[in-house]
Amino acid sequence: MKIIQNETLDQIKARIRQQTEKTTNPMIESQVAAIIQQVRELGDEALKAYSKKFDGVVIENLKVSETAIDEAFKTVDPKVIAALEQAAENISSFHQLEVQKSFEDTPRAGVLRGTKVTPLAAVGLYVPGGTAAYPSSVLMNAIPAKIAGVKNIIMVTPPQKDGLSPTVLAAAKIAGVDHIYQVGGAQAIAALAYGTASIPRVDKITGPGNAYVATAKRAVYGQVAIDMIAGPSEIGILADESANAKDVAADLLSQAEHDKKARAILITNSEKLARSVSDQVEKQLQTLPREDIARAAIEENGFIYLVDTVTEMIDLMNDVAPEHLEIQLKNAYDYVDQIQNAGSVFLGRYASEPLGDYLAGPNHILPTGGTARFSSALGVWDFQKRIQYLQYSQEALADDASNVAVLARAEGLEAHARAIESREN
Ligand SMILES: NC(=O)c1ccc[n+]([C@@H]2O[C@H](COP(=O)([O-])OP(=O)(O)OC[C@H]3O[C@@H](n4cnc5c(N)ncnc54)[C@H](O)[C@@H]3O)[C@@H](O)[C@H]2O)c1
Ligand SMILES: N[C@H](CO)Cc1c[nH]c[nH+]1
Ligand SMILES: [Zn+2]
């Protein structure tokens, strides 16, 4: 892994920003724009053509039948079902805490103000499936939607040569997904945004995916809501001489193995740790089944930054704004308040990142590419919206009417003032 030292903080920040900007790629953007256009024009026909082209699968029925889902469930190892159920329980108990409540307020006699929280009517969940199957992403997407009370939960996932992963289908059954369609990539996002003969248009699209999926979500935003840009996985680790190099390397590789475009960054003030982690990464890479993917990610986007102080380490990491941040410093918890930008934070040696990927309860659908500066983890709030309402009595309006009219006329909006004054007679 490349070790960068003897650079100023500003030089390192410039380097990091340049790498983040690489995640938006004009070539992918134009390819995705063409795919979206074709899906809008040709609907299901385009979805099937792209599935053949990109996934190598000829599809007859985009929709997966209830029978196929039930049959798949029966074939999954009971140990895997039990683990999925435990994960579902933890994810549910954590996400129950996120439910936003309606409220009403009576600031004075005759005035009622309120906010009604309602679930979105229809949502589209993207579950990735290009180089790995992601039953865990089914749970992370669907459980918050279910808790929010969404009535129509639609899931899309790329078709597979040997049929969809039974574990993915089992997870969808456990989480209560309503309809599943086998289609992936930018074409699936276009179908959810605009609708086709088979796939209904939804109100919001959530879920992670590769650069094509992330770029497509960005492109359809406005036609439909999206949760965030949740692209290729990332891990940033802050570690000092107290950290264990073998653990740090293992955690960097846990995210590198997702995608050749994944990012793995260590920031440390210990030269000894930097060198040991670099050696460990090379050693551990050699025995990984997905070595080719993880190696490409480490070669392209794997960096160890060596700086002088913990304050500088934290400052730099806030600039990286990684999807996952591990703090492997002495007394890790003490640093939480200094973290401004990160999707999800893992504290101390024993909170290894894959705990969050699968089982602990917090969501693993997280902002990437520096977007943790302004986005947060997927949650129940993503599946709820708020409607405000207001009621006034005649007396309450009489008290406020003159000030409303004054403000309306100050904005040059006479019709507004007259609407208020119309009630005076
Ligand atoms: N940020 C998060 O919260 C989070 C969570 C889980 C996974 N992930 C990321 O999700 C991604 C999963 O990626 P994946 O590839 O396995 O599955 P994917 O489902 O995201 O992508 C597969 C689809 O990409 C499309 N595609 C592939 N090559 C293409 C090309 N050349 N042109 C046009 N379209 C093409 C195909 O339609 C294919 O079906 C990884 O990057 C992983 O890191 C992120
Ligand atoms: N680390 C991924 C989010 O970037 C989530 C995941 C699913 N399965 C394994 N990992
Ligand atoms: Zn992961």
Proximal ligand: closest to the CA of 28? 1
DSSP class of residue 351 equals -
Q: Whose CA is nearest to atom 38 of ligand 1?
A: 185
pLDDT at 22 over 70: no
Q: Residue 323 catalytic?
A: yes
Note the pLDDT tens digit of each residue in 250-284.
999 999 999 999 999 999 999 999 999 999 999 99
Q: In this predicted structure, which of 14-23, 167-176, 220-229 has the lowest mean pLDDT?
A: 14-23
Q: Is residue 411 annotated as involved in ligand binding?
A: yes
Active site residue 98: no
**How far from chain centre, in Å, is Cα 62?**
25
Q: Give the residues across from 420 on adjacent strands.
A: none
Average pLDDT, the chain: 96
Specify whether the CB–CB gap between 306 and 5 falls below 8 A.
yes
Three-state SS letters, 218-284? HHHECCEEECCCCCCCEEEEEECCCCCHHHHHHHHHHHHCCCCCCEEEEEECCHHHHHHHHHHHHHH
Which ligand 1 atom is the nearest neighbour of the CA of 232?
41
Q: What percent of the chain lies above the pLDDT cut of 70?
A: 99
Kind and range of the H or E element at 397?
Answer: helix 394-410
Query: Looking at this protein, which amino acid is placed at residue 67?
Result: T
The DSSP line for 87-140 is HHHHHHHHHHTT----EEE-SSTTEEEEEEEEE-SEEEEE---SSS--HHHHHH
pLDDT at residue 283, as a whole number: 98
Q: Is the CB of 318 inside a 6 Å radius of any atom of ligand 2? A: no
Find the 247 Cα to ligand 3 centroid distance in Å.
15
pTM of the predicted protein model: 0.94
Is 357 assigned a ligand-binding role in the annotation? yes
Q: What is the pLDDT of residue 17?
A: 86
pLDDT score of 230 more than 90 = no
What residue owns the CA closest to ligand 1's atom 16? 130
Report CA(420)–ligand 2 centroid distance (Å): 55
pLDDT at 131 over 70: yes
Rounded to 5°, the CA angle 209-235-212 comes to 20
Q: Is there an atom of ligand 2 within 6 Å of 134 CB?
A: yes
Banded model confidence at residue 231, pLDDT cuts 50, 70, 90: confident
**Would the CB of 34 count as within 6 Å of ligand 1?**
no
What radius of gyration do the chain's Cα atoms show? 25
Q: Is the pLDDT of residue 23 over 70?
A: no
User: Among 210, 227, 300, 324, which residue has the most ligand 1 atoms within 8 Å of its CB, making it the best to mutate?
Assistant: 210
Say what the pLDDT of residue 130 is.
87
Q: What is the pLDDT of residues 311-330, one digit of tens each?
A: 999 999 999 999 999 999 99
Residue 19's pLDDT is 79
- Give the pLDDT mean for 367-377: 95
Question: pLDDT tens-digit profile of 237-250?
Answer: 999 999 999 999 99
Indicate whether 21 pLDDT > 80. Answer: no
Instruction: Check whether 60 has a pLDDT greater than 90.
Output: yes
Over range 130-146, report the average pLDDT: 95
128 CA closest ligand 1 atom index: 19
The domains of the chain, with CATH numbers, are: 2-23+232-361 (3.40.50.1980), 26-229 (3.40.50.1980), 393-424 (no CATH)
Protein residue with least CA distance to atom 7, ligand 2: 357
Assess contact for 324 and 346: CB atoms under 8 A.
yes
CA pair distance 289, 301, nearest whole angstrom: 20
Q: Using CA positions, which residue lies closest to atom 10 of ligand 2?
A: 357
